[in-house]
Copies of this chain bind each other. A is one copy, B any other.
Amino acid sequence: MTTETPNTVTELATRARLAATVLANAHRDIKDAALHAMADALDSRTGEILDANAADVDAARAAGTPEAIIDRLALSAARVATIAQSLRDTARLADPVGDVVRGSTLANGLEVRQIRVPFGVIGMIYEARPNVTVDAAGLCLKSGNAVLLRGSSSAFRSNSAIVAALREAVDKTGLPADAIQLVDASTRDTVRELMTARGLVDVLIPRGGGDLIRSVVDGSTVPVIETGVGNCHVYVDAGADLEMALEILLNAKTSRPSVCNAAESLLVHASIAPAFLALALPALDTAGVTVHGSPDVVSAGAAVGVTVPAATDDDFGREYLSLDLSARVVESVDEAVDHIRRYGTGHSETIVTRSLERAREFTAAVDAAVVLVNASSRFVDGGEFGYGAEIGISTQKLHARGPMGLAELTSTKYVVIGTGQTR
């Protein structure tokens, strides 16, 4: 903890812009060397980082923070090692900067190339987990961007220790330390300042709960990439393979209920509902899942001795992030699509079907970042898709949609080379 007056966001952003001009043209060699130095610094300063984290955890516990949140905040030597390794993995990824997206020679001889360039300065606003600090710093540096990190106040000691280690490593490599800067988390003012730093900050990426994301989207004059809220549905179609449907549903719901790509709602075609619910409701019950059902699902539960509370409209609109699942019987793919249009958040939507026609219908009609056929939505992840680490999953349509890797952290620039052409 420093005793100096915290810098204003404007001061930090101005320094970040200067750093960004250096980073934008840094070769891959030096960026990768910086990533390795950052990883090594986390390893060698693990003790210091764990001490800072223990202080954060103690303070959070004293403040009565729920253990589920403490769990996301707490670091261990093993977790720090894993986080450090993720920086080395990022170093191995291809550099997106300079990629030619498209290019041609025009009839008049002009050579036109559209190439990937960094955004410049990226602002991250996020909650709790200190690993986001490292992931964001690594991905932004690799993609040639400077980053302003506005984590939560509860993780400020941990984030300060981590960022101090990362900055020292970047500096040693010969890149500007101001490529990575931590924003004061003791006041909400810094969030507001980031949101209105248009011209200084090129893009804001909020990561966290729905309320955080909503407030950033609504209040920001800086362009925002919206991430993460996932009210994800599994639709079990008429004639689906019941065993496959059950496995996908259980995996999507229970393998990690707290993440955005977990299933939150089940839709079952009426023709298959009795058979599927007789199988699924006891299995979900055994897995500890509470199903909140429409009247026919409540009845199906009664028939197999499973208590199913009645679902309210609010249930269908909720991202539980817990072992709860809303469930409804529908008469057709159309009705499933309509339900998803009404309640979905445009994240990841799944159909389990044997019908090619209905698979096509569902994938064409559902408006979401990812539409899956016969697969668990838990695969919706930058790592799983082969993009290396991800900075978030975009649920907006502008710029990036779905898991965001390094390419999504870049803009483009046209370079046109001529020999004196005029028009």
Contacts and interface: CB of A to CB of B under 8 A. Distances in A.
A364 B25 contact: yes
A374 interface: yes
Nearest to A412: B401
Interface string A358-369: 010001110111
Given A223-B396, A398-B203, A371 B416 contact: yes
A228 interface: no
A375 B203 contact: no
A241 interface: yes
A322 interface: no
A313 interface: no
Given A106-B384, A385-B106, A411 B401 contact: yes
Nearest to A250: B422
Interface residues of A, number: 67
Interface stretch (A51-59, A112-120, A303-311): A112-120
Contact of A378 (B248, B398, B422): B422
B416 A412 contact: no
A162 interface: no
Contacts of A21: 365
Interface of A: 21, 24-25, 104, 106, 108, 110, 112, 114, 117, 119-120, 198, 202-203, 217-218, 221, 223, 225, 241, 244, 247-248, 250-252, 255, 359, 363-365, 367-376, 378-380, 384-386, 396-399, 401-402, 411-423
